[in-house]
Amino acid sequence: MEAVLCYAPYIAQPLRSTPVLRDVSCPAPQCSICNQRALCLPGMTEDTAIGRVDRLVSARRRIKRGEMLYRAGEPFKSVYAVRSGFFKTFAITDDGREQVTAFHMGGEMMGMDGVGGEHYRLHALALEDSEVCIVPFARLEELSCEVRSLQHQFHRLMSQEIVRGQFVMLLAGMRAEQRVAAFLLNLSQRFAARGYAANEFNLRMTREEIGNYLGLTLETVSRIFSRFQDSSHIEVQQKHVRLLDPGSLKKLLQQAQAA
Amino acid sequence: MEAVLCYAPYIAQPLRSTPVLRDVSCPAPQCSICNQRALCLPGMTEDTAIGRVDRLVSARRRIKRGEMLYRAGEPFKSVYAVRSGFFKTFAITDDGREQVTAFHMGGEMMGMDGVGGEHYRLHALALEDSEVCIVPFARLEELSCEVRSLQHQFHRLMSQEIVRGQFVMLLAGMRAEQRVAAFLLNLSQRFAARGYAANEFNLRMTREEIGNYLGLTLETVSRIFSRFQDSSHIEVQQKHVRLLDPGSLKKLLQQAQAA
DNA sequence: CGAAATATTGAAGTTATTCAACTGGAGTGG
DNA sequence: CCACTCCAGTTGAATAACTTCAATATTTCG
């Protein structure tokens, strides 16, 4: 599997801003008082043990929009918990294209692509000003043996990454409309799980990034947004989306087809 | 993410043979003398600790071709190491289609889709007569705290599942020909890693299953096999495949395109 | 404000799908 | 052992879906 895909080091920087990597350690990173706590590594850890979980995070880091959090090929030492902001991860394929593999929001882990290897396999880029907690992986492995609930939550989060992959696999048999519908519903749910409005949100990524992720062109994504708007499924204006009728989007996904 | 995809329990059995689930515990399952040892959970575990790893496997189970190893919705208690044979895992999508999510061969883990949840998310079906080792997950979590190399290898294998997902993601930007080429090369590598011939093997799955996995129709897969044969990339006869020129297939993957 | 990036929309072109007919093996039963 | 059936696979022609190219609009950001 490895050799088929070349995870070439990311070279060009014709990105957004100047990707200058800054490491801003914020004072006293504490899981115990973090609002992402429930979804993140601490999970259901009881208050008696939460103090030990605090030791997990070595530092925090602010990443400006357009900056890279890590690059494929860099030595893998840490995973990251997104405190705030929005990221995409992507690979550079054999033919030199960029392929978006996932979008990450608050409370989700990043850097799991490096687990079990010496290096990260993917590139991670902030799509808006963001902040992450740096979790040295060795420390995570150690602590997870001491604190059972941490071990469980860690495995849960790894598994979540696998499920995220399965989401993309399910796209394989879908039409463009269904893919876009699934994408919007997926985002909606994840926002909802984080206490944001489920039916009204701002897309942090461009049409091109959406299309790349879904295996469509940006034009197709744009057209389908317009079509969904015409049929009153949603309201779109640039990055702002409102799901007028999530139920009808779900129905779209249930419409069987031949293939 | 969860609610968008309904992992409905698998109902119909118009499969291959009669899917009678039998639990055949073979005598003395021992990792220490297993030929899959290196690729499987023991990994690089030193001989001094290998004895403890033996305790991992509660039993073995033989699965006849066409039988299910587990079904989505069943309580998740164990992961499985494939000792021999070949499996596919698949989901039933909202619109009732079957979506193949992966193919598994010897030395690979299955059942990871259940980690972090109460139930398996996928269905697992044997594509040929197979044998698996049953690894109770709770025991795996315990033992992995005691034996460091086991913990590492376990995390490595979880990560491998994530990478497997990324393989599918990279298909998103590919043409049908590239997808099929990537598929063949991927299989080739995995066979090679297990000591089988890299350039000559039998496909265990149908054209339909390949197409389903790759997001193509079975007709398209068949046509591309023929086309590859005409251009002397491969030789195909039914399930038997010979890669005549793997290099040219790899080149196919490197040919950039607009999108 | 002006340039560059992002998004929309139309028309033409391509790719892969669909529908359909046919071939070839594997397995079954006479 | 052979005929028969069923399923998997192949191939062709027509069609649909999505992409590509191109022109225009809108927004963002320095």
At position A157, the amino acid (one-letter code) is: L
C-alpha separations of B106 from A56, A90, B123 in Å: 36, 30, 18
**What value does the mean pLDDT take over residues B143-170?**
89
Distance from CA of B115 to the nearest CA of A (A): 6
Q: Is the pLDDT of residue B191 over 70?
A: yes
Q: Which residue of B has its CA nearest to A153?
A: B116
C-alpha separations of A111 from A79, B141, B214, B253 in Å: 5, 22, 26, 26
> How crowded is residue A196: how many other Cβ atoms within 10 Å of its Cβ?
14
- pLDDT level of residue B29 (50, 70, 90 thresholds): low
Contact criterion met (CB < 8 Å) for B158 and A155: yes
Q: How far is CA A213 from the centre of its chain?
A: 12
pLDDT along chain A (259 residues), means of 10: 40 40 53 82 79 87 95 96 95 94 94 92 96 95 91 89 89 96 97 93 97 98 97 95 96 78
Query: By the 8 A CB rule, do B98 and B216 touch?
Result: no
Q: Which residue of B has its CA nearest to A155?
A: B116
CA B124 to CA B133: how far, in whole Å?
A: 14
CA B1 to CA A193: how far, in whole Å?
A: 10
Contact criterion met (CB < 8 Å) for B4 and A97: no
CB pairs under 8 A between A and B: 201
pLDDT of residue B183: 98
pLDDT of residue B32: 81
**What value does the mean pLDDT take over residues B63-82?**
95
pLDDT of residue A23: 47
**Strand C nucleotides with an atom less than 7 Å from a protein beta carbon:** 5-11, 15-20, 25-26
Distance of A191 CA from C2 C1′ (whole Å): 37
Query: By the 8 A CB rule, do A113 and A159 touch?
Result: no
Contacts of residue A129, defined as CB under 8 A and 6 or more positions apart, other chains included, come to A62, A63, A64, A65, A85
| Length of chain B in terms of residues written | 259
Q: Is the pLDDT of residue B12 over 70?
A: no
CA-based nearest residue to B126, from B201, B238, B18: B18
Averaged pLDDT of chain B: 86
**Strand D nucleotides with an atom less than 7 Å from a protein beta carbon:** 8-13, 17-22, 26-28, 30
Helix (H, G, I), strand (E, B) or coil at A157: helix
Torsion of CA A61, A67, A73, A74, to 10 degrees: -30
Query: By the 8 A CB rule, do B204 and B128 touch?
Result: yes
Of chain B, the percentage scoring pLDDT greater than 90 comes to 66
B257 chain-A contacts, CB cut-off 8 A? 95, 97
Does the C-beta of A88 come within 7 A of strand C? no
| pLDDT tens digits for range B230-242 | 999 999 999 999 9
The 3-state secondary structure of chain B, one letter per residue = CCCCCCCCCCCCCCCCCCCCCCCCCCCCCCHHHCCCCCCCCCCCCCHHHHHHHHCCCCEEEEECCCCEEECCCCECCEEEEEEEEEEEEEEECCCCCEEEEEEEECCCEECHHHCCCCECCCEEEEEEEEEEEEEEHHHHHHHHHHCHHHHHHHHHHHHHHHHHHHHHHHHCCCCHHHHHHHHHHHHHHHHHHCCCCCCEEECCCCHHHHHHHHCCCHHHHHHHHHHHHHCCCEEEECCEEEECCHHHHHHHHHCCCCC
Torsion of CA B168, B174, B178, B184, to 10 degrees: 0
> How crowded is residue A211: how many other Cβ atoms within 10 Å of its Cβ?
25
Partner residue facing A259 (CB), from B96, B171, B217: B217
Which tokens is B42 given?
Answer: 């023991």
CA A59 to CA A69: how far, in whole Å?
A: 14
Backbone angles phi, psi at A219, to 5 degrees: -60, -45
The DSSP letter of residue A201 is E
CA A213 to CA A209: how far, in whole Å?
A: 6
Q: Which of the residues B7, B40, B94 would you substitute to probe the A interface, choosing the one with the greatest number of A C-beta atoms within 10 Å?
A: B94
**What value does the mean pLDDT take over residues B172-185?**
97
pLDDT of residue B52: 82
C-alpha separations of A224 from A170, A200, A220, A235, B60 in Å: 19, 18, 6, 12, 50
pLDDT of residue B14: 40
Kind plus residue range of the DSSP H or E element containing A123: strand A123-136
Q: Which residue of A has its CA nearest to B96?
A: A256
B156 chain-A contacts, CB cut-off 8 A? 115-117
